[in-house]
Structure 1
Amino acid sequence: MKKLVVAFGLLLSFNAFAEYGLNMTEGVTSISRDIYGLHMMVFWVSVVIAIVVFGAMFYSLYAHRQSKGAVAANFHESTKAELVWTIVPIIILIGMAIPASKVLIDLEDTTKAEMSVKITGHQWKWQYDYPQEGISFISNLSQGSRDAVNGTDAGREKADNYLLDVDKRLVLPVDTSIRFLITSNDVIHNWWVRDFGVKQDANPGFINDAWAKIDKIGTYRGQCAELCGKDHGFMPIVVDVVSKADYKKWVSKQQAAAAAAVASASKTWSKADLMAKGKTIYNANCAACHKADGSGMPPVFPAMKGSVIANGTAAGHINIVLHGKGAMPTFKMLGDSDLAAVMTYERNAFGNTGSVVQPSDVKSAR
């Protein structure tokens, strides 16, 4: 019985390890498949070299061992041997360099792009802009994952795509050559989607580019691959690749939502509406540093509860949120109504008694 239990445990272990591959991911883009093909070519060349070198070494150890009375040869130079071990590696390196150069050149060639997406890294979220379509939004870690972070181990195990889901996904059309313009608003980030074969640094003050033509409809996930601060592990990437027809529908929907957001910024909101909207925005953008209960993490991230700023003048509060201060970055990327809502929430939640902030107040302060 004991042996049966051990065997069953080993079987479960093997099933768990089966989820982890030992090789690269082939991916769903032409460039990712080229990288995979280059990797496999170099791998098999290395295997052949290892077989030849170690085969010759082990044969020599066996065939010329001392027990057979082998006597070591005494020579100092061999022009033939020197030519062989110089020319053969050169041929091998040239043979690998030619396809490698083609792949590297292809990696940098974004001239055939049919559309562009600008990607900006923030601590700790991604901003996506579609210049041609006039769409812009922020992608944060999903609230489900945020709740699981502060929950139990059992809750984290049950959470779907724990730390790998977002509230707003990047949407791209299938069979379309897409140029990614990648930069950062604060520190160095890295936008990495394994299945696309795209991994590019997001450097503040610079724009790096990459491209991909995705062949398969589906959902693909990635992560920030550059240590960028305390919540580095909480800024995942989720991309929905859809048909071209569905992409057009999505674009129309987003453009309508953007127009509605502009219109909403010109109206006067009730305090209740601002508070309801502000809580969601606070949890997505502010709770990581100032905590969901407003207690903060002093002295770097002060508490919102009893805050001099939140209970002070609205103008001072707006100025800090728009322009940042110390470790706090600017939040200009959010819309006027979003900023008005989150500041109203901060000024009236946690026992604070600050005033209401309207979108028009934010707009005039920009």
Structure 2
Amino acid sequence: MKRVTTQAATQATKWLYGLPLLLTSPLLFADAATGEGSSINLRRGATDISGQVYDLHMLMFFICIAIAVAVFGVMFASMYLHRKSRGAKPAHFHENVKVEIAWTVVPFIILILMAIPAAKTLIAMEDTSEPDLTVVVTGSQWKWHYRYMDRDVEFYSLMATQREQIENKFEKGANYLLEVDRPLVIPTGQKVRFLITSDDVIHSWWVPDFAVKKDANPGFINESWAKVNEPGIYRGQCAELCGKDHGFMPVVVIAKEPAEFDAWMNEQEEAARQAKEEEQRLLSMNMSMDELMDEGKRVYNATCAACHMPNGEGLPGVFPALKGSEMVLEDQTAHIDIVLNGKTGTAMQAFGKMLSLKDIAAVVTYERNAWGNNTGDMVQAKDVNAVVNGN
């Protein structure tokens, strides 16, 4: 009697746990029909391709539901109507040709019907021909670099979420770990081709609203494209485990109206021109130690502290310490060179394209005089430029 009661209680518990799903299933199907408001379904996205992917997903989903209902319906009906208590005698279908043909041909036809729309969508996703704009996307531990083909604009995009949020000192924002300092900007209504690669390890550039997720492989270029219909901010992230800070590598894309995009592009090209002029001006002037240390600390905390630690002691066996380092204390040229060009075969990446001559001069000065290093060296922009030019 006790065993029967326990079994009944267990069965009742299963039903109780299943009730929330039964009660919310109409809502889930409502979300499935619209593609909006569901946190567990695909989103329709902002491009025609993402809409096709969503429609294809829902088609397959409902086909699978129909098959499940038919199969389990026949199974449960057979179990109920032909049970032993009703005197049913089991039928034998051993080597029945008609049954063998049916369960081979019917699934084959279903697969063909599913493959036709899937093939159309896949072909459309891979058609990168005749783009209106091409952007080279390069993954780099742990940030993205964007370069607009045929335009003099390129920049790195770094996560902008505050370190205090990550360390649970501040309340997490609405877009926690999905904020960047410089988002990619593209025009609406135009076909934008993405050439995706990497300069170190395998990354993956993923923007769900575009139905774009392509691996960034070092030494290879993968292609994808998007034609965004509506202006807005679209977020994604690296979708391939790429190392220590893989979770801190977000993607943010802002889609602007064509006229607004052209104005933005002109501003960026003008800013790039002015930056080059400013660097040339810095070559003929010197910054004070206080200016170098203040600027160097800012650059170090933004780009170096994640590996070498804010105290310069690094992570033993993983990232070398800068505090007391022989190179930092004695070889200024090698110090500048490794910041500029990185070190092959290690996690030390090249910052020559990411930082200005002024930034590199400042951060090298800071590293040579912080944490008790106290070399007294003041590295100027002209010293960095000399290493760049091999002088």
Local SS of the residue matching 2:218: coil
Q: 1:147 to 1:74 in 2, by over 3 A?
A: closer
Match of 2:73 among 50, 55, 72: 55
Question: How far did 1:175 drift?
Answer: 1.2
Question: How far did 1:160 drift?
Answer: 4.2
Question: How far did 1:151 drift?
Answer: 4.4
Aligned position for 1:170: 184
Aligned position for 2:82: 64
Q: Distance in 2 between matches of 1:269 and 1:191?
A: 41
Alignment of structure 1 residues 88-99 onto 2, 5 Å: 88-99=106-117
Q: Distance in 2 between matches of 1:42 and 1:327?
A: 43
Aligned position for 2:361: 340
Match of 2:379 among 343, 357, 361: 357
Q: Distance in 2 between matches of 1:196 and 1:307?
A: 46
* One-letter identity of the residue aligned with 1:37: D
Q: TM-score, normalised by structure 2?
A: 0.83
Match of 2:330 among 291, 301, 312: 312
When structure 1 is superposed on structure 2, of 235-244 and 206-215 the one drifting more is: 235-244
Q: Distance in 2 between matches of 1:160 and 1:274?
A: 35
Q: Distance in 2 between matches of 1:225 and 1:161?
A: 17
Q: 1:352 to 1:256 in 2, by over 3 A?
A: farther
Q: Distance in 1 between matches of 2:254 and 2:104?
A: 50
Alignment of structure 1 residues 136-215 onto 2, 5 Å: 136-142=154-160, 144-152=161-169, 155-157=170-172, 159-215=173-229
Match of 1:232 among 238, 243, 246: 246
Q: 1:75 to 1:296 in 2, by over 3 A?
A: closer
What do the CA deviations read for 1:123-165 (whole angstroms, capped 9, x no partner)? 11111111222111111111x422322342xx243x3422111
Match of 1:244 among 240, 243, 258: 258
What do the CA deviations read for 1:318-342 (whole angstroms, capped 9, x no partner)? 1211232333122232233332232
Question: How far did 1:20 drift?
Answer: 5.9
Q: Distance in 2 between matches of 1:86 and 1:62?
A: 26
Q: Distance in 1 between matches of 2:168 and 2:117?
A: 50
Q: 1:26 to 1:53 in 2, by over 3 A?
A: same
Of structures 1 and 2, the one with the larger relative CO (CA 8 A, separation 6+) is 1
Q: 1:274 to 1:252 in 2, by over 3 A?
A: farther
Q: Distance in 2 between matches of 1:43 and 1:188?
A: 31
Match of 1:324 among 335, 338, 342: 342
What do the CA deviations read for 1:210-261 (whole angstroms, capped 9, x no partner)? 1000111111111111111111111111111111122112112211221122
Local SS of the residue matching 1:176: coil
Q: What CA RMSD, in Å, does the superposition of the two structures yield over aligned residues?
A: 2.2
Match of 2:277 among 260, 263, 284: 263
Question: How far did 1:180 drift?
Answer: 0.6
Question: How far did 1:92 drift?
Answer: 0.9
* One-letter identity of the residue aligned with 2:109: I
Local SS of the residue matching 1:316: helix
Question: How far did 1:52 drift?
Answer: 0.8
Q: Distance in 2 between matches of 1:140 and 1:164?
A: 10
| Contact kept in structure 2, 1:175 and 1:214, CA below 8 Å | yes
Question: How far did 1:269 drift?
Answer: 4.0
Q: Distance in 1 between matches of 2:48 and 2:77?
A: 43
Q: Distance in 1 between matches of 2:74 and 2:152?
A: 64
* One-letter identity of the residue aligned with 1:167: D
Q: Distance in 1 between matches of 2:299 and 2:113?
A: 55
Q: Distance in 1 between matches of 2:214 and 2:265?
A: 26
Aligned position for 2:3: none
Identity of aligned residues (%): 49
| Count of residue pairs the alignment pairs up | 348
Q: Distance in 2 between matches of 1:293 and 1:242?
A: 42
